[in-house]
Amino acid sequence: MFFHHGLRGRDLPDKTLCLTYDDGPGESGAGQPGPNTTELGRFLYDEGIAATFFVMGRHGEQFPQTLARLQAWGHLIGNHTYRHPGLVKFTLEGGDAAEELQRTHEIIRPYIDGDVIFFRPPYGNWRQKSRPDGPEDAPRSVVAEALNRDERFANYLGPILWDILAEDWECWRQCVSPAECARRHLAAIERVGRGIVLLHDSSEEDDVRPRNRTCEMTQLLVPQLKARGYRFVRLDEIPRVRRAAEQVRRRTSALTLAE
């Protein structure tokens, strides 16, 4: 079930966070610069944090062993398309959004726990503008309409968006240190106080990917958050997301009974 408006974590209690990571997995070797999704997943597991990793299909197919480890550590695996297109323009120009999801679905399917699969669109790009030059998004999403017509995604839930971002990708593009990037994220989290945090364990940009240091940044950030009294929940523990997932289950059951 794809909604026309995104799901967020605004209904979480104060000082409660959900960590989510996009564009991975990626591996550069222990202690090396660049994406280190296995090291990141293990660190979060050791800290008692279950995160959600929205997998980019063309990266996921390179590192199936990483997906297996993330699943074993209790992290959620979600779909982030295969090639990372902006889905509104892609759909309006005749692109096959369903195929983007399906290609990644085949890669992540063995590592999915539960009966609902979560989806995050690249760039959070979901609804076209009401006017070409206007700031407001249209009330309905052409992407949601296209995907909801495809029975292959009856047990999907999306779009999952976010409440907090401090642009970790821009830190790595500008070669900002992990410590400074952690400071920016701590400040952004303190301003908002709760919700889904958007992070990136790899990059869809080939030139930025080797500079990704989100693993190191997370290792600096989490102890500071814990010291300030923050707690962490998995995506499917967020009340709004949990209620929407139950809608998906009821809809899927009704479709099964009708067959």
Look up the pTM and report it: 0.95
Bond before 159 cis per omega within 30 degrees? yes
**CATH code for the domain of 8:** 3.20.20.370
Using alpha carbons, select from 249, 226, 237 the residue that is nearest to residue 195: 237
Identify the pLDDT of residue 33: 79
Identify the pLDDT of residue 138: 86
Using alpha carbons, select from 111, 106, 107 the residue that is nearest to residue 41: 111
Which two three-digit tokens encode residue 55?
A: 């997998």
Using alpha carbons, select from 94, 92, 81, 93 the residue that is nearest to residue 124: 81
* Separation CA 241–CA 180 (nearest Å): 32
Give CB contacts under 8 A, 24+ apart, made by 128-137: 128/88, 128/92
Domain boundaries, position 87: 2-258
* Structure confidence by residue, pLDDT tens digits, 99-133: 999 999 999 999 998 999 999 999 999 998 766 66
Strands (E), the chain: 2-7, 16-24, 52-55, 76-79, 117-118, 156-160, 195-200, 231-232
Q: How many domains does the chain have?
A: 1
Residues of the chain with pLDDT under 70: 130-136, 255-259
| Degrees, nearest 5: CA angle 240-245-248 | 135
Half-sphere exposure of 39 (CA within 13 A, CB side): 20
* Structure confidence by residue, pLDDT tens digits, 41-61: 999 999 999 999 999 999 999
* Angle between helical axes of 214-227 and 37-46 (0-180°, round to 10): 20
Using alpha carbons, select from 158, 151, 156 the residue that is nearest to residue 258: 151
Identify the pLDDT of residue 8: 98
Q: Which residues contact 91 (CB under 8 A, 6 or more apart)?
A: 97, 142, 143, 146
Identify the pLDDT of residue 106: 98
Identify the pLDDT of residue 252: 84
Identify the pLDDT of residue 220: 98
SS3 for 164? Answer: strand
Identify the pLDDT of residue 253: 79
The DSSP output letter for 137 is B
